[in-house]
Amino acid sequence: MPKNIELALVYRDMWQSSGKYMPRVDQLLQVAGPIIDMGCFRRVETNGGGFEQINLLYGENPNKSVREWTQPFNDVGIQTQMLERGLNGIRMSPVPKDVRRLMFQVKKKQGTDIARSFDGLNNPQNLALSFQYAREAGMIAQAALSLTYSPVHTVDYYVDLADKYIDIGAEEICIKDMAGIGRPVSVGRIVKGIRERHPNILIQYHGHSTPGFSLASSLEAARNGANIIDVGMEPLSWGTGHADLLAVHEMLRDAGFSLPEINMKAYMEVRRLTQSFIDDWLGEYINPRNRFMNSLLIGPGLPGGMMGSLMSDLENNLKSVNKWLSKNDKPTVTQDDLLIKLFDEVKYVWPRLGYPPLVTPFSQYVKNASLMNVIQQIKGKPRWSLIDENTWGMILGKSGQLPGKLDDEILRMANDEGRTFFEGNPQNLYVDELDTYKEKMAEKAWDHGKDDEELMEYAMHPQQYENYKSGKAKESFLADLAKRRAAKEPVNIAESAPTTSLPTEMNVNVDGQNYNVTISYPGQESAPGVASNQVDKPAAAPALPTNASYILAPLEGKFYLTKEATEKGLKPGDTVNKGDTVAYIESMKVINAVVSDISGKVADILIKHGDEVEEDDKIIAIV
């Protein structure tokens, strides 16, 4: 008799692995019915990961999206699953216990059945609370083994890790092959080892297709005892995404497994709708390279889920690097040049940072450290001359123990900078914060929302939530969307003034509503914004003393005076000493400390909290 095996559609991850954004809630509701009608899925991944932040970034309420998007699946008994990052919850940095607990309560009440929890370092202590809070909330607690390929990440390592997760409360196991670099036979051996020790545990395999192993890995996982295989589907399968539904379905049937039939009429409708969302606006944020498989990634092992942001980061950094090279009369580089240099540098950096599994957020840390090394070396500076605060936190043990040993070079740097290593439970470093956010919401007269979901969202994503509430997020998103569309549109030279190359105003239609958007470009003084909401230009700031010196931005990104919403930032009149941390720049999803290279008093802060800065911009005046 054929063995039954089931499939899960990772609709959320399909988008996140392809580009920056997700469909709007109205679009998700359009596609939910046809996904159900396909008749072949036991589970659908609806939210988690970057879903909430992505909604906030384009000015929409993620809680509304989750509730309305999960409801159709709840109604017909298809299980919904989310991805959460353990200590980091659904963001990139650690989360206090009270916020973590509330997140699980909210997500269950919003309609999410399964919490797939992973820790980027595979530390059981960081997931114990996730399993506890998920089960308390009535969710299924699924533990994800973050798969990577290194001398310390062996088959026995992962089989033993599954034992530890099950011992502390995991009800299911996911083999999370986020980079798709798990060698197929080894994937099969891991599944077999877990199945032999835990005959009744549900095992789910999740593999990205980027390097080309995913079909074979899916088959090996199935043959050795996996119950559910995660799949993507056209037009967002393969590439940095996941193995395609049709290919996996047919392969498993040929191997003797029993699966539900696919309603191909519904399949074509899901395919059509998904393509229409791309054509509507999401295509502006999907790099075509992410639609291709790339076996070069077998070496660096970077995950498909971060390739969308990686290509965006490379695009931005390429401009900055070439600007510097041109200014210094040096030949410029191409994106391919930068990409290969990055891959080579990852091979150098990763073992020296203790082989953290290349999964969010640690894949970002390894990639960012590598990219900064490449850029600094291009500019004639030494390796490791710019390490972000998040990477330092990982190095120092603030996320838990690394699986490998830190290189002596890194240990010397930590010692030279007077940094202290932490050996306790990382959760203890982060005090409860819900009361603080309740007070802040009361001051702003903001409602906590149904089931405290707005309170959870604010505490989880404070800066993005404030930008969403103020309308700044929607305004910035629309301006960016308009700029991207304008850059693609041909200019009618005959009808344009000689100095015109790109429009400065455009109508953008989003969700059936028209917005008139003004567009600024590098080098222009005007800021992007919605034209109907423009305000008078503020009066020029008073002239600074002629003897002022300046602290410069070490890289491009968003400027913040504080790292946490509860901290107090630098202000005019404060004394600054050389070596002091004076501000922060968020770039490539991590926080970089801005360290002063001069001493004196703050004459003025030249950039507003939350505004974008370019590398070498003057940010603080010192006298």
| E runs forming strands in 232-308 | 257-258
Q: Is residue 377 part of a domain?
A: yes
Of 401, 429, 457, the position where a domain reaches its end is: 429
Other C-beta atoms closer than 10 Å to the C-beta of 489 total 10
Same-domain status, 78 and 171: yes
Peptide bond into 23 cis (omega under 30): no
Per-residue pLDDT tens over the stretch 446-459: 999 999 999 999 99
For residue 309, what pLDDT is reported?
62
**Domain with 85 in it: what CATH number?**
3.20.20.70
Per-residue pLDDT tens over the stretch 25-56: 999 999 999 999 999 999 999 999 989 999 99
Question: Does position 434 have pLDDT exceeding 60, yes or no?
Answer: yes
Question: Does position 315 have pLDDT exceeding 60, yes or no?
Answer: yes
Residue count of the chain? 623
Same-domain status, 265 and 385: no
Of 286, 320, 351, the position where a domain reaches its end is: 286
Mean pLDDT, the chain, whole residue set: 88
Q: What average pLDDT does this structure show over 240-269?
A: 97
Question: Does position 283 have pLDDT exceeding 60, yes or no?
Answer: yes
For residue 513, the enclosing domain spans: 471-492+501-533
Same-domain status, 160 and 252: yes
* Rounded Cα gap, residues 5 and 488, in angstroms: 45
Per-residue pLDDT tens over the stretch 134-181: 999 999 999 999 998 889 999 999 999 999 999 999 999 999 998 888
Same-domain status, 122 and 258: yes
C-alpha dihedral, 483 to 484 to 487 to 488, nearest 10°: -140
C-alpha pair distances (Å), 616 with each of 240, 432, 544, 560 = 33, 37, 18, 16
Same-domain status, 312 and 406: yes
**Domain with 579 in it: what CATH number?**
2.40.50.100
Same-domain status, 323 and 235: no
Same-domain status, 282 and 301: no
Q: Is residue 478 part of a domain?
A: yes
Same-domain status, 279 and 300: no
Q: Is residue 480 part of a domain?
A: yes
Q: Is residue 451 part of a domain?
A: no
- What is the number of structural domains in the chain? 4
For residue 528, what pLDDT is reported?
36
* Rounded Cα gap, residues 366 and 359, in angstroms: 10
Same-domain status, 196 and 71: yes
For residue 542, what pLDDT is reported?
57
Same-domain status, 62 and 198: yes
Same-domain status, 178 and 317: no
Question: Does position 491 have pLDDT exceeding 80, yes or no?
Answer: no
Q: Is residue 449 part of a domain?
A: no
Q: Is residue 453 part of a domain?
A: no
Of 286, 310, 339, the position where a domain reaches its end is: 286
For residue 496, what pLDDT is reported?
41
pTM for the full predicted model: 0.80
Q: Is residue 563 part of a domain?
A: yes
Q: Is residue 371 part of a domain?
A: yes
Q: What average pLDDT does this structure show over 215-242?
A: 96
CB within 8 Å of 513: residues ≥ 6 apart: none
pLDDT-based confidence at residue 291 (cuts at 50, 70, 90): confident
Same-domain status, 205 and 317: no
Name the residue with higher pLDDT: 415 or 297: 415
When mean pLDDT is compared across 175-184, 243-252, 403-412, 550-559, the lowest value belongs to: 550-559
